[in-house]
Amino acid sequence: MSLTNLQHLIETKQAVIGVIGLGYVGLPVAGRLAQVGFRVIGVDVKAERVALINAGRNPIDGDEPGLAELLAAVTATLTPAPLPGRERGGSQPDRAGLSFYTTTEYQELAQADVVLIDVETPVDADHTPRYEALKNACRSLGAVMKKGTLVIVESTVAPGTTGQVIRPLLEEASGWQADRDFFLGACPERVMPGKLLLNLRTMSRVCGGGTPETAAAMVAFYRHLVEADLDVADIVTAEVVKTAENAYRDVQIAFANEVALICEAVGADVWQVRELVNKVPYRQMHLPGAGVGGHCIPKDPWLLAYGAAGRAPVRLIPAARAINDGMPHHVADLTIEALQAAGVPLDQARVAVLGYAYLADSDDTRHSPSEALVGRLRELGLQVAIHDPWVRAYQGDLWALLSGCDAAVVMVAHRAYYDLDSNRLATTLRTPILIDGRHVSQADKAQAAGLFYRAVGQGDNGNVKRET
């Protein structure tokens, strides 16, 4: 199939779309594509997730406006039907009666005209990309895809990965040549938990094509989904843009965190400092806090650096990563200092960690700063109890969990933790200590209730050592 024919299929919504990976990135885009009129085949290695989606149920917890309703709508009252094979695929079943069907079988992607790759791309402890899922997806897709398929990498990868890793794997598995027998591009996702559908619709995208004609076909495809700018570029530029934008955010957060540490040391309040700094034109100091988590920001700076490994000096990215990774340990230090000031022996202390997701009102625990905090506290011999209203393993009665604890440590700005009743907190805790890592409490209210209060970025708030 030529790109001209493919673009016609895309523009008329006759193209069959495959989506590999049905997590935070792939699931909303697959559902939205089905909603606007495409037939979509989703592939995921997790059979339980596939079964939930085919039953019209949303496997993603957390506050995701519209996603559950969307999935229920695009999977409802539809029955499977066979689709004639095209080139590869023969007579395998394809559930043509479904606008959105998910499976664990790559063979069904033999019908797809456009395939999106949305698998995870983590990094190792030494900051090297781990591309096992990506490589497996490419090999499996290459073995079944038909000629003329447009493959778009939405996963975030190190600059150069699409050309140096993905393209050779697809060519080897298929026996075909990119830009001649199939078409390859990169259009990195720009979604985030809590705003999956909103960002999919409203955020601009970079359509990096292996050729200008491929990029034009990508623009035609994403125009069905995106109401913002669709910028044309080459593949490497698209890869750099995505990793650079997250590295930029990481560096900015690291600056805010370093200022917060300075404010603690000199007795200032970082929140007042931030407000006043941001009154100056062209200044936009980010929010400090207890750490940076999620699948993207902790790893994408390393992907950006990896793309130039040995060819360009990289100094700022490692420094920013060290600052942000150190914030959970700093919260642990604040907790230890408060316990010691209150006369609580560490080997008898019990601490309640409030929030285990990395993001407010989300169930996403990937690279959670709370995990690092919990590990550090337990390493020091403390008992730790965990609460999170969105993470299933840690749901339950918050106040029952707080009873008998010597400190409450707020690590996530869930709505449930804003303006906790300070008086109730002071009488429920065995030792009235509140450590605020996300600026969800008011110091004056906490102290008036008798809480020993410490917060990231706030210097001496007039606390005194209290005997218990």
**Residues belonging to the active site:** 242, 296
Give the list of residues 6+ apart from residue 320 with CB closer than 8 angstroms, or none: 247, 250, 251, 253, 254, 255, 301
Beta bridge partners of 231: 206
What beta strand segments (E) does 300-403 contain? 350-354, 383-387
Would you give the distance in Å from CA 119 to the centre of its chain? 12
Spell out a b/e string for 284-300, using b for 16 or more CB atoms within 10 Å of the CB, else e: ebbbbbbbbbbbbbbbb
Q: Which amino acid is at 407?
A: A
Cα(197)–Cα(335) distance, rounded to whole angstroms? 38
Q: Residue 192 in contact with residue 359, Cβ under 8 Å?
A: yes
Q: In what order do the strands lie in the sheet with 114-117?
A: 100-103, 39-43, 16-20, 114-117, 150-153, 183-186, 205-209, 230-234
Q: Which of 440, 435, 446 is nearest to 417 (CA)?
A: 440
Q: Residue 20 in contact with residue 121, Cβ under 8 Å?
A: no
Cα(38)–Cα(113) distance, rounded to whole angstroms? 11
Q: Which amino acid is at 73?
A: A
Give me 20's structure tokens: 């590999």
